[in-house]
Structure 1
């Protein structure tokens, strides 16, 4: 007979295994029996349980006391509870990292449940007859999934089983599982960087490195326009997608062909990624632009300011932002005047200075430089710090500058007279242009307060500009 403790308050307790949480469940009963809310998303996530998105409910029935199930670590999260009966549970962290091999044991009955993160080995021994062990999981079984196993009798884990293993029913397969020293750890969920060959993609590789769980994809590797994108990968193996790719030819976007390409890359592609992220519990990082605003503000733009793009490029980027925001776990990094490796405004001005060319540069567009390495650093910060999901403005710090101001600063840093740079209005600069010209926001200064409140300190643009040019 199952003995259930009635009257508990819903509460959580941490365990020595990172991310594994024990929950005490309220059980209501009388002479007729009992009732409990075995899984209640709103209440439990409010207490800190991950919103892990279960897709399947499994039940293991065990009719005899002492039935013992092996230590299995799967690449998905589990919500484990007991419907009837009682078990002694043992969990061993089999994930790569410093907590590998950490052990936690406790008893579960209908009034206690546990959240078991992906890669933590799960096992139990029944302490009452007719025990029904239940678990919600957030992935479907797949032969392509990677598993790890640990022997129930492993000396390092040293689990104190209530009933000696020699006296209980264990499958032959579980008896043959390896000791801890021979276990293959479960790798972290993968991180995919899309647009790996661009200036931001290269900065992300420099920041993230080349660990086994990191993937860098070019358009040739992963085409966001592919209607079969949802089956292009086993997406449940991914924890993060960073979309560093975009169509950035703002003037060409005003042409018929460019308009189509801009919308495919900046709106349709991110929308497909958002759908994949939502369906697979993936965190989606997407890089946006100051061009989603019309540049008429009299103060730095905040994340919640209304979108008002002027041209096709800005309109396609704004549409991408709206699409990405439908993914429950998303970071939209809105940035401006990006400078990275390869051809860019700063490199062009330095080249003109060295070649003796005196340029006329637009002076009525004002903003802040943002170095690609700073976007990469902010990306890692947001992901690693657990910052609230949403939109963040990401630029370097410092006084706003016009493009002419930036050009003069470049000339000075590389040892040339900044007075060689003359100022020109946007209208005069593009007067007589034969090809379509995209409208540009005159004011592109972004307020980074929200990002700074997460603990990120933007680096000063002028200092980074000097380092960029003299390194």
Structure 2
């Protein structure tokens, strides 16, 4: 059980946010300016409160309720949205019980509220209030519109297992018949987290995400292109986003060279830019967290080829694919709750450079491979694990109600993160030699060529490539995530190819 301190006896000179025994339930000490005429306060002040550590609520509805008599008691109700509760007039005893799935189910916090105090109540945390004075007026800000079809989770006010110490006993309180009939804790079905939706679930990254999410978010909804085509902006806007807390967008047009053709150019912009912009608008409108994946192709490759580009490096795409991805990045950047994961040289299930080199090695072919582009491989399961880490999934915090501080919610701060394998950067030719050596071929069977020569010998359009694709990993490492060495991961990947080919 958690206990707060009584309100009403202390002035505050600045907004302060206090944590409680319930993850994500935050108490806000407000600044109240008073004199003989009365008082004034900033009941909701986004900039100050977010700076103090409160989640950026994004309210869409303001409701006010009134209790005339002492002893009126309401609850315990857990709602499917976040809520910012404050007292406009009067004095209240309030209690909260965590009714979400997870290790803190049943945790309790209570304290007295007055005009000096407000509380951020995350989705799925039951809240209840008992009037300790006459004429109590409550203010509620919520980040979703009330709906008659919304699903609530209820708990009995008198449940012995949570043992809320009501100042006015239940037999003396004024309680509705409906509230008296709520179930005890052992009968409550915990509220599941807001839904995680994966777009592009049939692609290489989508498959890796599905595998990782099966362990930490088994209720994730996997959406393939047949259900939602990101290239159709109208379909994205019209998709049913109700009940969605996080959208992970693994859908993209990644045919880099085909993007240089007239048809490919239109498709690349439709999927990577227009569709992503529609998705960003939906995220703002519906308040969900948006995870999106970007590329080293948004840079021109002139950055330090060994140190790498940081997240704030200037966008300077060379080709259509990079330009369309950069446009999508800009759209995602305006979403209040977003993670933009920028990566390079992606390898997963299906056709990829490593598998192509393995096939050439097996068939006795001695290829010429580009030796003037430098980067690190990124395996799709690395990207998937980094995504789960940033979202805080599997660490006791659901995917909803994220704030600006990972320590409060289990999430990392929102923003852009570079995610690739770690270790010594390599050229494509060096990677090819490592593959050949693994399969018993002489690495020198791979000869060097230049990007210019490779492009001149191609049978169709070739997109310009950044020469330097090394991305600085310091920011994501600062969150506690350590990407694996890409050459070690390559060896493990090739071992799996061995197992498959030998099966």
Give the shorter-chain TM-score range: over 0.9
Tell me how far apart the structure 2 counterparts of residues 170 and 206 of structure 1 sit (CA, whole Å). Answer: 47
* Change beyond 3 A, Cα 1:423–1:12: closer
Q: CA deviation at 1:185?
A: 1.1
* Counterpart selection for 2:285 from 261, 279, 283: 279
* TM-superposition CA deviations, 1:55-87 (whole Å, max 9, x none): 111111111111111211101111111111111
Matched, 1:33 2:38: yes
Post-superposition offset of 1:5 = 4.4
Tell me if 1:230 matches 2:237: yes
Corresponding residue to 2:258 among 240, 252, 259: 252
**Contact 2:33/2:39 (8 A) holds in 1:** yes
Task: Give the aligned CA root-mean-square deviation in angstroms.
Answer: 1.8
Cα deviation, 1:352-382, whole Å, max 9, x if unaligned, reads: 1112122222222222111111111221222
> Counterparts in 2 of 1:120-199, with a 5 A limit?
120-199=125-204
Q: CA separation in 1, counterparts of 2:18 and 2:484?
A: 39
3-state secondary structure, aligned to 2:97? strand
CA contact (8 A) 1:73 1:147 kept: yes
Q: Is residue 87–residue 128 contact of structure 1 (8 Å, CA) maintained in 2?
A: yes
Name the SS of the counterpart of 2:57 in structure 1: coil
SS in 2 for 1:136: strand
In 2, are the aligned partners of 1:6 and 1:26 still within 8 Å (CA)? no
2:395 corresponding residue in structure 1: none
Contact 1:404 1:423 in 2 (8 A): yes
TM-score by length of structure 1 reads 0.95
CA distance in structure 2 between the partners assigned to 1:298 and 1:42 by the alignment: 37
Q: How far apart, CA to CA, are the structure 1 residues paired with 2:17 and 2:452?
A: 62
Q: State the alpha-carbon separation in 1 of the partners of residues 170 and 105 from structure 2.
A: 24
Partner of 2:358: 350
Q: TM-score with structure 2 length normalisation? A: 0.89
Instruction: Give the Å deviation of 1:212.
Output: 4.4
Structure 2: tracts of 5 or more residues without a match: 1-6, 393-405, 497-503
- Structure 1 residue 468: Cα displacement: 0.3
Contact 1:241–1:285 (Cα < 8 Å) also in 2 = yes
For residue 209 of structure 2, the aligned residue among 192, 204, 214 is 204
SS in 2 for 1:144: coil
| Distance (Å, rounded) in 2 between the aligned partners of 1:135 and 1:298 | 51
Q: Distance in 1 between matches of 2:150 and 2:219?
A: 14
Q: Could you say which residue in structure 1 is the equivalent of 2:501?
A: none
> Runs of 4+ in structure 1 displaced over 6 angstroms?
none
Matched, 1:302 2:313: no
How much does 1:333 deviate?
1.3
Q: In the alignment, is the contact (CA less than 8 A) between 2:241 and 2:286 conserved in 1? A: no
Q: CA deviation at 1:238?
A: 2.2
The 2-side partners of 1:104 and 1:429 are apart by: 65
Distance (Å, rounded) in 2 between the aligned partners of 1:440 and 1:147 = 52
Structure 1 SS opposite 2:234: coil
The residue aligned with 2:272 is 266
Give the equivalent residue in structure 1 for 2:294: 288
CA contact (8 A) 1:335 1:393 kept: yes
How far apart are residue 296 of structure 1 and its match? Answer: 2.7
CA distance in 1: counterparts of 2:327 and 2:147, whole angstroms: 35
Deviations 1:182-213 (A, max 9, x none): 11211112211111111111111222216443
| In 1, Cα distance between equivalents of 2:272 and 2:241 | 24
Contact 1:6–1:28 at 8 Å: present in 2 too?
no
